[in-house]
Amino acid sequence: MKQVSTRKQAIDAKCKDCAYDQSGKGTWRDQVERCPSEYTCALWPFRPVSIATIKERKAAKYDGMTDEQRAAYHKRQEAAKERFSH
């Protein structure tokens, strides 16, 4: 296993080591994203997933919000933009 320097790199390396099969279908990220160990692996919620999956999850979360939750979400987004624009 290669040497890692960050938490994300360590999680990526462990997930790749555990779930990747070179003869399997897809890249190591594809295979790790399809990992079935949701209830048996402490790293499962933190495993690497594709940008498309992240966008799908955000959209689903947003779609499930009430109008009040959406308003609060937009307020937080604007506050963050203001904070980081300086």
Contact 10, 26 (CB under 8 A): no
pLDDT reading at 2 higher than 80: no
Average pLDDT over residues 21-49: 93
User: HSE-up of 24 (CA within 13 Å, CB side)?
Assistant: 14
Please give the average per-residue pLDDT across 57-63, as a whole number.
Answer: 93
The pair of three-digit structure tokens given for residue 80, joined into one six-digit string: 């963050």
What pLDDT was estimated at residue 31?
Answer: 94
Q: Residue 86 pLDDT more than 80?
A: no
